[in-house]
């Protein structure tokens, strides 16, 4: 639960600063010696505004199909809402203890599986509240998906509840609703991100 919370906070920070990651997955989350999860691998990330879309022109590129939203598979569209879809898959990875998404379904069949309205089942022993977040991340209509702010707040509430979850530090104010602080010295909003290497960023009109 704590790892899921850290990832949501890191992605909230990215979305707030108009960045799209495009390859959010367990393989791109690192854990430091303080058990703080950091979002890494910005090789596919692009700087853009919420109202803009980045469309990849390279049809031959290797794409993380099992983490991609349907609109990304269809039109190579990437935005904060497609990152939310990927976060839902990351959440499934966390609560399945590292299992590969869409077990038994080859990459080439994932799109048809999703377009039939099907979704992955809840991992074994996954709390229903967590699976509910996953399902809301996987809404076919991008506008119906939850936001990272909503996810971060919901996870914070679960961590503060009666269930036997491991407490996670919460930091900063993201969006309109403040996330309650758990005091942890030296942790800031961007503590959940690995510094990004300098590279060309793309917006709606090309390189920026």
Rounded distance, CA 179 to CA 152, Å? Answer: 8
In 3D, which of 117, 160, 166, 120 has the Cα closest to residue 139?
A: 117
List Cβ neighbours of 1 (8 Å cut-off, separation of 6 or more).
Answer: 130, 155, 158, 159, 165, 166, 168
Q: Which helix (H) or strand (E) holds 144?
A: none
Rounded distance, CA 167 to CA 178, Å? Answer: 18
Choosing from 23, 41, 109, 205, which is the catalytic residue?
Answer: 23
Question: For 187, phi and psi rounded to 5 degrees?
Answer: -100, 125
| 23 tagged catalytic | yes
**What are the DSSP calls for 39-71, one per residue?**
E---TT-EE--TT--EE---TTS---GGGS-HH
**Mind telling me the catalytic residues?**
23
């Amino acid at each position: 639960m704590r790892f899921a919370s850290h990832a949501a906070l890191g992605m909230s920070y990215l979305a707030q600063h108009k960045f799209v990651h495009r390859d959010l997955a367990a393989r791109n989350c690192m854990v430091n010696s303080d058990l703080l999860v950091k979002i890494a691998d910005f090789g596919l990330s692009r700087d853009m505004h919420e109202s803009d879309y980045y469309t990849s022109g390279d049809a031959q590129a290797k794409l993380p199909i099992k983490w991609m939203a349907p609109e990304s598979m269809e039109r190579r569209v990437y935005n904060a809402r497609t990152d939310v879809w990927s976060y839902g898959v990351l959440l499934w990875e966390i609560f399945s203890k590292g299992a590969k998404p869409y077990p038994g379904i080859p990459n080439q069949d994932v799109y048809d599986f999703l377009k039939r309205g099907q979704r992955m089942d809840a991992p074994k022993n996954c709390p229903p509240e967590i699976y509910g977040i996953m399902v809301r991340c996987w809404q076919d209509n991008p506008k119906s998906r939850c936001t990272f702010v909503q996810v971060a707040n919901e996870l914070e509430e679960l961590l503060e509840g009666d269930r036997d979850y491991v407490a996670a530090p919460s930091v900063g104010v993201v969006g309109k609703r403040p996330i309650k602080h758990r005091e942890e010295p030296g942790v800031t909003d961007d503590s959940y991100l690995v510094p990004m290497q300098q590279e060309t960023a793309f917006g709606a009109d090309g390189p920026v």
